[in-house]
Amino acid sequence: MSVRLEAPRAVTELTRTLEDAGFETWAVGGAVRDALRGIRTGDWDLATKATPEEVRRTFRRTVPIGIDHGTVGVFGRDGVLYEVTTFRRDVIPLGRKAVVAFSDTIDEDLSRRDFTINAVAWHPLRGELRDPFGGQADLAAGRLRAVGDPAERFREDYLRVLRGLRFAGALGLDVEPDTWTGLVSAVSGVGGLSPERVRDELAKVMALPQASTALALYAEANVLPQVDATLRNPSSPADFQMVDHVSKRRPLLRFAAFFLAVLDEPVRSDARELLMRLRFSNADARRLSALLRAGARPPEATRGTAGERREWMSGIGRPFLRDAVRLWVASCRMGSGPEGMEERRALGAVRGDLAGAVPLTATELPVSGRDLLELGIPKGPAMGDQLHALLRAAWYRDDPPGREDLLQLVRDGSVEGRDVTN
């Protein structure tokens, strides 16, 4: 079957170079799937009969992306790095990632793929569409169907459970009944996947325009407790919509919105162990932990006195508060009524403190330890107590005192440890 698809010129050139060298080559993967849906994408992959070594000998500018799995990165004339992978077949399905061997035909390569919509190849030179499993028809029907026996496909690699839910959510597909049955029966295998693969798959969900659709399918398939025992299904799939209200350009904030929907309060308060199990970096785990402590909505402390609000803000830390505010904005967009109005007032107060001159740590005070030394306060615990008391004085006054005001408090003996609040 001949089909006209629009591919970058570099894809055609790479294909021609490999074909001229005697290696059958096809475009495969998400770019072909999206092109059949009328969506242009620059993420084109090629599958070829050439082995990785033959690909590297054929092109001058290559990168060994995944030689063990047959993938070599090749730079096109447009400067884009394209993945070129040798035709493959599964030898030992392990449930985590199959051991593969190289193959000689595109048909055998397509037969090892997960879903029919991904088992379609297109020849950039001849315009031929190779679709042995009816992927184009499934796309047109809005259907996600496994290649061959669904149970076998999922047993080969349990990550396909998560991939299937993502594809269904991202493309608005209905999961074909036998495929859904096979998927649900394989959910228990997700717990055996490496944390890195699960985290990376979750990151792809967070990048979707409407991540909540795929996440609702996660809940329907009851896959979250398999990802980690601390994760639970939300009381309503609508709880995931907060993720959609956070910009895709802030993936870590989207993760925070997701975790807020699926973690109970005790785990939110100390989520670092969970985040490390999922192999987040130390920096990302610190940031996410702070955001989870801040919560999905402005907490009670932000709705009390100015001092209580600022003391709570100090505990979260200025570097994380702006992100917390972004999460609260996303939450407020979903809320209405008296509670929503109260949250908006608290949100405005926090924003005002962040924009103003209110110090949140002792290092932000307009006075320093050197100033206190000149006033006779010795180094050590006494100085630390004085600085903290001055900080509280700044928090609990409607108009935060300036440098001279704070120094006068010390001269007058009006600052005694942690007791000054007015």
Residue 19 sits in a domain whose CATH number is: 3.30.460.10
- Examine the pLDDT at 54 and tell me if it is beyond 60: yes
Please indicate, yes or no, whether residues 164 and 265 belong to a single structural domain of this protein: yes
In a domain, 420, yes or no: no
From 123, 141, 159, give the residue that closes a domain.
Answer: 141
Largest Cα separation within the chain, whole Å, is 90
Whether residues 151 and 289 fall in one domain: yes
Identify the pLDDT of residue 18. Answer: 98
Q: Residue 48's beta-bridge partner residues?
A: 25, 86
| Residues 60, 9 share a domain | yes
SS (H, E, C) 58-71: HCCCEEEEEHHHCE
DSSP 86-126: E-EEEEE--BSS-EEEE-S-HHHHHHTSSBGGGS-EE-TTT
Q: Is residue 288 part of a domain?
A: yes
Same domain, 36 and 63: yes
Mean pLDDT of the chain: 91
Of the residues 141, 172, 194, the one at which a domain ends: 141
Cα(228)–Cα(278) distance, integer angstroms: 8
- Total domains present in the chain: 4
Give me the torsion for CA of 86, 92, 95, 98, rounded to 10°.
-20
Question: Tens of pLDDT along 362-401?
Answer: 999 999 999 998 888 888 898 999 999 999 988 988 777 8
The gap from C-alpha 177 to its chain's centroid, in whole angstroms, comes to 29
Residue 94 has pLDDT above 70, yes or no: no
Cross-strand bridge partners of residue 84 = 46, 72
Write out the DSSP string of 241-286: HHHHTS-TT-HHHHHHHHHHHHS-HHHHHT-HHHHHHTT--HHHHH
Are 119 and 197 within one domain? no
* Cβ contact 38:77 at 8 Å: no
Considering the domain architecture, whether residues 251 and 263 belong to the same structural domain is answered as yes
Instruction: Tell whether 160 and 258 lie within a shared domain.
Output: yes
CA 251, distance to chain mean position in Å, is 5
What DSSP character marks residue 407?
Answer: H
For residue 150, the SS3 value is helix
**How sure is the predictor about 59, in pLDDT bands with cuts at 50, 70 and 90?**
very high
Spatial separation of the C-alpha atoms in residues 409 and 211, rounded to whole Å: 53
- CA 399 to each of CA 149, 353, 413: distance values in angstroms, whole numbers, following the listed order: 70, 11, 20
Distance from C-alpha of 100 to C-alpha of 69, rounded to nearest angstrom: 7
> What Å distances lie between residue 396 and 315, 356, 382, 403, 420, CA to CA?
15, 15, 21, 16, 9
d(C-alpha 324, C-alpha 316), whole Å: 9
pLDDT digits (tens, 9 = 90+) for 390-406: 999 889 887 778 889 88
* b/e per residue 39-78 (b: at least 16 CB within 10 A): eebeebbbbbbbbbebbbebbeebeebeeeebbbbbbbee
Q: pLDDT tens digits for 298-323?
A: 888 888 889 999 999 998 988 899 99
Query: Given CA atoms 158, 208, 328, 288 in this order, what sign does their dihedral have?
Result: positive
- Please check the confidence at residue 97 and state whether its pLDDT lies above 70: no
Task: Judge whether residue 67 has pLDDT over 90.
Answer: no
- Give the Cα separation of 366 and 363 in Å (integer): 8
Cβ-contact 292, 263 below 8 angstroms: yes
Domain that holds residue 272: 146-294
